[in-house]
Copies of this chain bind each other. A is one copy, B any other.
């Protein structure tokens, strides 16, 4: 199978390496708005050849995998579906699914599209961050799978299982709501925490020395790519704002209890937060 990777960074690049390692790839092609990334991807063995235009790549490929910012997916997906021959499949790996599913809901080639989201990643980005085992034992969420042709969906599922991934079907709205709380919100608090600390602590050595106290863990996600994340927040705006408002209310509750020396209130707040250990070991 010939696969075109549109975007060959952490996610697309790792998927290519994993498919190759699993024997699912005959050839990998790449297209990117950033030509330097493609040359680097060839050097790293992520792709075998690059295409100068997206159209040439689409013409060549059996599968087309989109691992690019979600706003670019929403914008380009209908045009990509327009160009498909029968049998070709387009898969997107965007972190939001509602708007992407919406823009192609009534497209005549909708059955050739798979809306997917691999729950895997690191705080790093670009082809150099890619590695073949990123997806092992991780979750692949597929949204609105009933709108994809059965045969195409089955062959995608087979590849995911070959990559040792678990599969879960989810409604696009439910996906975006869960991800707003469990992923997008975590990224916002990390970026906000980083900004608050960098504003006040001008001495990087002090931050580094004290980072072992828990800071490094809570701020890790702030290293993530702004180019990928700004569009995620905007595409999932409504749910992200709801999650953020709920978080801010909790933080304000804590602040008020501390201001009022409400020891038992604080204790209860910490105890209830600590219940997360019953869920995540």
> Does chain B have a CB within 8 A of A168?
yes
Q: How far is the CA of A93 from the CA of B120 in the complex (A)?
A: 38
Cα(A251)–Cα(B246), bound, Å: 12
B193 lies within 8 A of A277 (CB): no
Q: Are A208 and B248 in contact, with the CB atoms below 8 A?
A: no
CB of A270 closer than 8 Å to a CB of B: yes
Residues on B with beta carbons closer than 8 Å to the beta carbon of A277: 123, 222-223
Q: Which residues of B contact A226 (CB under 8 A)?
A: 267, 270-271, 274
* Residue in B204, B237, B243, B249 whose beta carbon sits within 8 Å of that of A279 in the complex: B204
Q: Report if A240 contacts B (CB, 8 A).
A: yes
| A186 CB to nearest chain B CB (Å) | 4
Copies in the complex: 2
Q: Which residues of B contact A193 (CB under 8 A)?
A: 185-186, 189, 247, 250
Q: Is B206 in contact with A178, judged by CB distance below 8 angstroms?
A: yes
One of B188, B221, B263, B270 near A254 (C-beta < 8 A): B188
Tell me the count of chain A residues lying within 8 A, CB to CB, of chain B: 87
Contact between chains at A197 and B182 (CB < 8 Å): yes
Q: A109 within 8 Å of B by Cβ?
A: no
A15-23, A56-64, A83-91, A209-217: which lies at the interface = A209-217
Is B197's CB under 8 angstroms from A181's CB? yes
Segment of A74-82, A148-156, A227-235 engaged in the interface with chain B: A227-235
| Chain A, interface SS category | helix
State whether A216 and B139 are in contact (beta carbons under 8 Å apart), knowing that A182-B206, A195-B250, A255-B248 are contacts in the complex.
Answer: no
Beta-carbon contact of B248 and A212 below 8 Å:
no
Partner of A138, one of B182, B212, B263: B212
A219 within 8 A of B: yes
Inter-chain contact B201/A181, CB cutoff 8 Å: yes
Chain B positions within 8 Å of A190 at CB level: 214, 218, 273
Is A106 part of the binding interface, using a Cβ–Cβ cutoff of 8 Å? no
Please tell me if the beta carbons of A200 and B246 are within 8 angstroms of each other in the complex: yes
The listed residue with most B CB atoms (<10 A of its CB), out of A191, A249, A259, A269, is A191
A210 touches B139 (CB 8 A): yes
Which B residues lie within 8 Å of A237 (CB)? 258, 261
